[in-house]
Chain A
Amino acid sequence: MSDQMQGTMPGGLSCRDVLALASDFHDGDLAPAETDSFSRHLEICPRCDRFYQSFERTIRVARGAVLLRPSPEVRERLVDGVMKRLSSAG
């Protein structure tokens, strides 16, 4: 992505458009024609392509971060804790 690229509007989108629409593209929220334009821009503009690769990886890694579930022991402790507090609260 570069200044001269912004002038040529690869795919009919500017590089700023790519930046603004990256989530919509990723999440499938663009209309088919916009999706095609976005893809064409990435094919032609190496900097936007690189930007999008890292943007996509940021999302992918977050989605793969399966670090958040409690262990079975922690889960039991939490459930017991809630039920005990309910009992003491009446």
Chain B
Amino acid sequence: MVPCPVDPGLPDDALIALVRAGDRSAFEALVRRHTDRIYALGLGMMRDPVDAGDVVQETFLQAWRRLADWRGEAPFRAWLYRIATNACLMKMRTRRRHPESPLDLPGPDETIFERQIPDVARLTDERLADRQLGDIVLAAGDALPDAYRAVWVMADLEQASMQEIAAALDLSVANVKTRLHRARLKLREVLIERLATPSDEEERA
């Protein structure tokens, strides 16, 4: 591979200025810098490396075409994240793998409280290494509707800021927090269903 002739340590806005001046290798430096994060978002959302690769390609092609739209009000990385999130959601919608119904939060008449609270099953069982449990958690994320999965992947897997997630999904920060909380409760529930041990069942009985 031919090394980038530009200084890859330049900040994003300086690289973008070079791209606008016609330096394509500056765009390559941006792609190289941000690929990991976009790939991670794609893999967390789609759970398929081929799809994650498609998300990377789609995101950077769109960013290239729409670079004139980036005016520097938000960090380039947040702008890119927004494009990537939309690419993921579009792909997921096409695939129609996930239910679209919203998740419940406990209210006076809702059953989620009963499902969550009397449950004495533990996830403190250390027999499962966290890495192994990580695989199970990712698979459990399939139980989430797309809009909740997107928030959860960004917040808990990628640890993006609430502001960045809100901007990527065009939601308020409060709405992001609500969705994240519901997603976590649902995941905990799914994990308990999948990991409950005989002693948990006895204790529950």
A29 and B57 form a contact (CB under 8 A): no
If A16-B113, A79-B31 touch, does A58 touch B61 (CB 8 Å cutoff)?
no
The listed residue (B1, B28, B124) touching A53 by CB distance below 8 A is: B124
Residues of B within 8 A of A (CB): 1, 24, 27-28, 31-32, 35-36, 39-40, 43-44, 49, 52-53, 56-57, 60-61, 64, 105-106, 113, 116-124, 130-131, 133-135, 137-138, 152, 156-159, 177, 180-181, 184-185, 187-188, 191-192
Instruction: Please report A residues at the B interface, Cβ cutoff 8 Å.
Output: 1-2, 15-16, 19-20, 22-24, 27, 29, 47-48, 50-51, 53-55, 57-70, 74-83, 85-86, 89
* Contacts A62-B187, A64-B134, A86-B24 known; 12 new A-B pairs at CB < 8 A: A2-B118, A47-B120, A55-B188, A58-B184, A63-B157, A65-B138, A70-B36, A74-B39, A78-B35, A78-B53, A81-B56, A83-B31
Q: Which residues in B have their C-beta under 8 angstroms from that of A15?
A: 117
> How many residue pairs bridge A and B at CB < 8 Å?
142
Q: Please give me the 8 A-B residue pairs with the lowest Cβ-Cβ distance, nearest first.
A: A65-B134, A54-B123, A68-B40, A23-B181, A62-B156, A58-B188, A82-B60, A57-B123
